[in-house]
Amino acid sequence: MDVLLDISEPGQAPKPHEVRVEDLKRVVGIDLGTTYSLVAAVDMEGKPACISDESGAVSLPSVVHYPEQPGSEPVTGKEAHDLALLHPESTIASAKRLMGRGLEDLDDEAARSSFALEAGEGGMVQIAIRSKQISPVGVAAEILKSLKSRAEEALGGELHGAVITVPAYFDDAQRQATKDAGRLAGLEVLRLVNEPTAAALAYGLDQGREGMYAIYDLGGGTFDISILKLTKGVFQVMSTGGNSSLGGDDFDNTLVDLFIKEMGEENPSTELVQECKQEARRVKELLTEATEANVTISRKGGKSYNRTVSRSEFDGLIKKLIRATGLPCRRALKDAGLAPDELKGVVLVGGSTRVPAVRAFVAEIFKQEPLVDVDPDQVVALGAAHQADLLSGNRRDGLLLLDVTPLSLGIETMGELVEKIVPRNSPIPTARAQEFTTFKDGQTAMAIHVVQGERELVSECRSLARFELRGIPAMTAGAARIRVTFQVDADGLLTVSAHEETTQIAQSVMVKPAYGLSDGEIEQMLRDAITHGAEDMQARAFNEAKVDADRVLAASGAALKHDGDLLNEAELKKVKAAMLKLWESTQGKDHEVINQCIRDLDRDTTFFAQRRMDRGVQQSMTGHSVDDFS
């Protein structure tokens, strides 16, 4: 095939690539938020901008109302938000907090929800509306449809694709749910990008800065902290942390609890709770600028609840929630190997970072005032639009995004131990492989158990998937070679494959857990890994020693069965005593005792091993002359 080569005269630069409007693909970046969602696109000059609706608003409330009339289409955005007071049981808000999660994970959300939650098929939570189950994925799809329609009207045609942002701490199930929502909305999802990474992308382009930056992202329902290195167009995530169940909604809920308690309502109606939520959000937003805000909530019998909330009172109510973001921040700095004064800046993302107490805490923990010259509500969508523009091929000048895995990925090995294959904070996309072997003689199948987490024992990590590799040739233990490969794509989604190298048989699975991690579970997993680090290593050492002991005992037993006639009665008694001592050591908890007993058995059976070797040589030479072996 002939190829054209673009050249220029000596000393002259090549002609810049001209961008023509007819050549550009219509692509957008979407910030699918808990409270508000936005869509943005890049213009002819390469500048991103959020797309507004007919009223000029760029933010779409992430609310969907399902009308009672059969055949009626769901209502989204501001209109749905306004219907929440009248129809709280059929108006869904903050569905992002339900994405990819199970009912047992949602005790707090279920208690506060104005709509009913049920366990759905496969474990994922479902929303019950008039005896019909609606998936949170379907709710998210309705929001995405509205943004898609808005963008197509503004850009003058059908979209070619979209980049959708997700919290950095969304796990595999939550990411897959987001991607499924995009497909349901009729979007080609070019990529999922972590929200802090998208924010850094937009911020870096706008400011032209380089260095190490912290991205503190506190939205309506999630908190993320990322440390990024910006160098010559490369945005590399050095570490990440957060809590996928902490955000501005929780700030609102502290006020809601206060209002209901002061009203003396033990079993408040869903209508009253919904009105309290809307008033709490209004008060929170007012206190961003004002020092106090008045509250008025209608009650039965024509009465009303009235009070004034001061900023200092509000700060006291949310202090514990704000300080809960501190541990992930300190851990992210530690993982990146940085002290706070080594950061060039701290970028704020998310509407909840407008709260003065949040900004004060950020300044305290990072020892510097945060950067506030970029709109925290729009920066994620703007960065996503830039990434969509680059992925579509609209522009040749590009920035490279290097994201990371939030938790380690590995498999279960003998002794219920975790062998980590993809460590936490590994840049993605990535592919890593490791070889394993069989434990027993004649083993023809291997169970592959994929887990996620930082602990050493399987029971302390999260199970992601299980599958089996069958057809392994029957060999002695340790002879087979099974290569297990983990592939994490640019969206953070995982595929695991196992390949036996002798027969070339293979098996793979795309990891799609039924639902995601429970409330704050990722944060708890990391905290536990640090708190129980020493005890985990002790447990791992014990389990490894026990596996070795079981292997040695099995081999010794097989040797006695096959060649026990080589030993006299005293020798047999000595070997069996050493084996018994080793078995007894496995009933305790000291790995050093087990290892010493293994060494003792090895020493006490050296003569037996030599005799077995001599017998093997004699048997192999029987019937042959010396010339046959030359």
Instruction: Please list the active-site residues.
Output: 31, 96, 195, 217
Helical segments of 51-135, H only = 78-83, 107-112
Sign of the torsion formed by the C-alpha atoms of 335, 337, 340 and 344:
negative
Interhelix angle 521-531/533-563, nearest 10 degrees: 80
CB atoms within 10 A of CB 373: 9
Residue 481 identity (one-letter amino acid): R
Do residues 8 and 21 touch, judged by C-beta distance below 8 A?
no
* Rounded alpha-carbon distances, angstroms, from residue 265 to 184, 241, 268, 499: 41, 38, 5, 62
Distance CA 38, CA 33 (A): 8
For residue 118, the number of C-alpha atoms closer than 13 Å in the C-beta half-sphere is 12
For residue 41, list its beta bridge partners: 49
114-117 contact pairs (CB < 8 A, 24+): 114/84, 114/88, 114/89, 114/270, 114/273, 114/274, 115/88, 115/89, 115/90, 115/91, 116/89
In our burial notation (b when 16+ CB lie closer than 10 A, e otherwise), range 290-302 reads eeebebebeeeee
Nearest to 95, CA basis, from 58, 63, 142 = 63
In our burial notation (b when 16+ CB lie closer than 10 A, e otherwise), range 396-415 reads eeebebebbbbbbbbbbbbb
Q: What are phi and psi of 268, to 5 degrees?
A: -65, 145
Whether the upstream peptide bond of residue 429 has omega within 30° of 0, thus cis, is yes
* 309 CB-near residues (< 8 Å, 6+ apart): 255, 283, 287, 292, 293, 295
Q: How many residues does the chain have?
A: 630
Helix (H) or strand (E) holding 2: none
DSSP 3-state assignment of 117?
Answer: strand
Do residues 493 and 194 touch, judged by C-beta distance below 8 A?
no
